[in-house]
Structure 1
Amino acid sequence: MKAFIHQTLHLCRCLAACMVLFAAPAAAVDYSLTGFGTVQYTVGDNEANYLRFADNEGTLKVNSVLGAQLDVQLTQTLGATVQYVVAPKQDNDRGTEIDTRWAFVKWRPNDNLTFKLGRQRINLYLDAENLDVGQTYVQANLNPEVYFNAGVLNLDGFSATYNFEDQAGRYWGLQAITGNRDIIQRPPNFSGDFPTNRFEFNGLVLSVDGVDYRLQLAYHEADVYREITRFNGAPVINGSFTAQAAFTNLGAEYRWEDYTLRAEYALVDLYFSNQGIIGGSFRQAGQSKYPEQAGNLVLIRALNERLAVYGSWGRFVSDFDDQYSLAIGGRYLITPSQSVKAELMHVVEKNTRPQLSDNAIPNTTFNLLSVNYNWVWQ
């Protein structure tokens, strides 16, 4: 299966490239090229990094991304999509990389059914598919308690989606997805490449869009594996980390004439164990199942057609991590395809979150100012 998926990804890239070169003489083939980007400056009041890069010296790395997407329509029912981005590396905190975010073939036999094979986004959140496109949402920083899970962006696999409209004009969607992905785990005080976990995903997503609201319920399970070669400085033979995780995400959004209220809740149930031979003796350590819970509320006020302001609250708690955040900000639409945003965020880490920060001291406060420019083009 792994080899087949990699061959499919390679086919998607080659197919899209061929369409660019040969689309002119082939009148039946249609394609479109779009792009997007965000340039963000973030500065904090703490020497420790938060959001991986933001400290009191300031950085352009938080949320800054440059992307391009090619969509190719081969026939009425068959198409392909590739998306590349230039963004900070995920496997360490130094430098940037060109990353393939999407690379899939799509078959749509009718108006209701869609099948995708290849690299595609996992719909954990309300804005999962457009997570990198800052122009498509109001906040400068999507709530870190819910949205910041480094690497959990996409998988290599297969999905089937069924959509329909009911008699009341609501649009329903049901997606089943399966696949795998190597996901980086950012540990505390680590200077090299971050450890890589192998995730095997299976999930279901139910969504409904009404005239002035949308709801989404997502449930995904994952089997996780990582090889361990050292533990507390000692070499390990046949060492491994294994885990079983269940991700439950519920999101809701309601829109009035001038206000929008968003609420999201995320629950991760996790069981993990470590095992290996240390000093000639086999050792195994397990952790009972425990929950990680996160939630956020965002209230957006549209002052006019171009200017909107917002306030948000977020909370994250588990056996190991504990934090909350408050933020206020605003967005100004220069044009329908360009915007500028500004945000002040206040974060209190009651216990440290290595996925988000380098802080090792409990009850630490971060205050962050973020300013960015966003655009899309086609």
Structure 2
Amino acid sequence: MPRPTFDDPTDLRTMRTPTTLTLLAAALAWLGLAATAQAQNPSSTSPSTPSSTPAAATASAGSEAPVDEAASPDGPTLAWSGFGTLGWAQSNRRWGYQRFIDRQGGFERDSLLGAQLDAQLSPEWSATAQLKLAPSERQDNAWDLRSTWAFVAWRPDNDWLLRAGKLRVPFYLRSEHMDVGATYNEARLPAELHNIVPTTDFTGAHLTHSWSIDDSDFSVDVYKGRASQAKRVWLRDGAGPLPSGAMVWDVTTVAQGLVVTWSEAASKVRLGLHRVEVSPRGNAQLPVRPTWAPLGPGFGYWQTSNELPGPGVEMARSIDNDFLSLGFEASPAAGWHLTGEYGRIRQRKTERSIDAQTGYLTLTRELGHWSPYLTFARLFSSPRSREWARQLDETTVPAYVPGGDLLNASMRASADSVPVYDQRSWALGMAHALTPTQRVKAEWLHTRAKVSSMFDLLPGEKLFQTRSVDVLSVNYSFTF
């Protein structure tokens, strides 16, 4: 089995990191004031002046920018930019939602700080590096400074672009600027879609070909790469040596895909086909499906590991997922904007991985500097995935069977370890543009679920039980 690491569950909901949060809040406030000063002084000579699509959002040195034959007349040039969000989120439940949101409230869910350096080496060659300070992927009560982008780009002409290095997987309409909250109105992009993909970043190669026909622009993206990740699982009760609370598995992800995008004026359509392979580190393997192990007349348990007694479990070296993504943006009338995305993840090789459909619709009304919006999101796993989770959670071994408690705990831990969902959410919010580079947002989110792996449930609670949670979020986002 892969070696997991653990967070102390008593620390997860009671401990904060005030020093880190204080420093982050101070840095965000200072940079926000800098962004305000820059917006009020357009003649400022700062190295990088953000527009509605800032360099931090699109890596202008290596993505959207066309070749300019007059660029870099005196050699390489450097431009830097930054972005950040200071966000508070609080729910009405004791248990956690989306890892960090509970009734104590906190800044961890949405706050981050990023900086980007773009180097234009020649008219054809450029390089981009981006760092982000955000909550750690390995510990729920720690923050990490990590590299999110680090690539070299070659654009021989306006139609072709090749990038190599650490990049963002183009799963979504907003993949390239999903961390830059000042570029969209929502306080938080819908978790039903953005929280379930196996990876968002990869190290590899990304080729883009673009062209125009009349007033329409087309692009085709092909990419392939790999990523080393920490996958988090919440165990309600633990099992044997595995304590309850947050558990992290080290995995390697290999992703490849094809993405086609059409855009015209305020409209856009994007279709993507992706194949993602996830495998645990080392020589560990994953169960294909649980095996029924009879223990006596009329009763037994579901064996999920060959280290437990029973007839044995078929194992696989990796989990393969096919992911279909479809998104659109449109303006049905003046001042109205409609955005929607759909995703279908289908698992291969095993029956113990995420297999689900997901999607959302967001309607926004532009009223000067104000932008109210309404979002509906839906996420549900396949019936087979939900049935496996239900059987593992609800099957029990009688107390008089030796080792029965351990067998029951193994089934509950296995039910917790596979992402399974049947949830829907409504979000009503408002964004106010203080300047072209700053936004303040407020949102009320209501989520109702029959089962959701985004809930960090308390010990002893049932996995399948209708629950609801309300979340209030207030954000300040900026770029400069």
- Amino acid in structure 1 at the alignment position of 2:216: R
2:165 & 2:358 partners in 1: Cα distance? Answer: 30
**Which letter does structure 2 place at the counterpart of 1:357?**
F
The residue matched to 1:298 in structure 2 has which SS?
A: strand
Tell me which residue corresponds to 1:87: 134
Structure 1 residues 330 and 177: alpha-carbon distance in aligned structure 2, compared to 1, 3 A threshold: same
Structure 1 partner of 2:185: 138
Q: 2:264 aligns with which of 210, 214, 217?
A: 210
Q: Answer yes or no: is 1:329 the counterpart of 2:405.
A: no
Q: Percent identity?
A: 27
Q: Does 1:188 align with 2:234?
A: yes
Task: Map 1:169-318 onto structure 2 (within 5 A).
Answer: 169-189=215-235, 191=245, 194-227=248-281, 228=284, 234=307, 241-255=317-331, 256-273=333-350, 287=351, 291-304=355-368, 306-318=369-381
Aligned length: 334
Alignment-mate amino acid for residue 219 of structure 1? L
Partner of 2:47: none
Select which of 101, 104, 111 maps to 1:54.
Answer: 101
Q: Is the 8 A contact 1:272 1:288 kept in 2?
A: no
Contact 1:146–1:294 under 8 Å retained in 2: yes
Normalised by the length of structure 1, the TM-score is 0.83
Whole-Å Cα distance in 2 between the matches of residues 143 and 62 of structure 1? Answer: 13
Alignment of 1:61-140 (within 5 A): 61-140=108-187
Residue of structure 2 in register with 1:368 after alignment: 471
Judge conservation of contact 2:135–2:144 (CA < 8 Å) in 1: yes
CA contact (8 A) 2:285 2:317 kept: no
Task: Give, as a single letter, the amino acid of the residue that structure 1 aligns with 2:378.
Answer: R
Structure 1: gaps spanning 5 or more residues: 1-25, 274-286
User: Per-residue deviation at 1:364?
Assistant: 1.2
CA gap of 1:74–1:329, structure 2 versus 1, over 3 A, is: same
Shift of 1:234: 4.6
Q: Secondary structure at the match of 1:194?
A: strand
Query: Take 1:252 and 1:242, find their aligned partners in 2: how far apart are those partners?
Result: 32
Q: Distance in 2 between matches of 1:290 and 1:341?
A: 32
1:180 to partner: Cα distance: 0.6
Q: Deviations over 1:122-146 (max 9, x none)?
A: 0101111101000000100111101
Please say if residues 226 and 240 of structure 1, whose CA atoms lie closer than 8 Å, have aligned partners that are also in contact: no
What per-residue deviation string (whole Å, max 9, x for no partner) do you get for residues 75-109 of structure 1? 11011000000000112312100111100000000
Match of 1:358 in 2: 456
Tell whether the 8 Å contact from 1:158 to 1:178 is kept in structure 2 after alignment: yes
Query: Alpha carbons of 1:314 and 1:74: their partners in 2 closer, same or farther (altered >3 Å)?
Result: same
**Amino acid in structure 2 at the alignment position of 1:210:** E
Distance 2:208 2:231 in 1: 30
Give structure 1 regions of 4+ aligned residues with deviation exceeding 3 angstroms.
Answer: 190-193, 227-236, 288-291
Contact 2:232 2:246 in 1 (8 A): no
Q: In 2, distance between residues paired with 1:358 and 1:191?
A: 8
Which of 444, 452, 455 is the equivalent residue of 1:344?
Answer: 444
Name the CA shift for 1:150/1:92 in 2 (closer, same or farther; >3 Å): farther
TM-score, normalised to structure 2, is 0.66
Is contact 1:266-1:295 (8 Å) kept? yes
Superposed, 1:9-28 pairs within 5 Å as 27-28=74-75
Structure 1 or 2: more strand by fraction: 1
Note the C-alpha offset of 1:192.
5.6
Cα RMSD of the aligned pairs, angstroms, is 2.3
Q: 1:290 to 1:50 in 2, by over 3 A?
A: closer
2 CA distance for matches of 1:224 and 1:148? 16
CA drift at 1:301: 0.8
Q: Measured at CA, do residues 233 and 332 of structure 1 come closer, stay the same or move farther in structure 2, by a change above 3 Å?
A: farther
Question: Within 2, Cα distance between the matches of 1:272 and 1:240?
Answer: 7
CA distance in structure 2 between the aligned counterparts of 1:372 and 1:49, rounded to whole angstroms: 19
Cα separation, 2, equivalents of 1:101 and 1:268 = 24
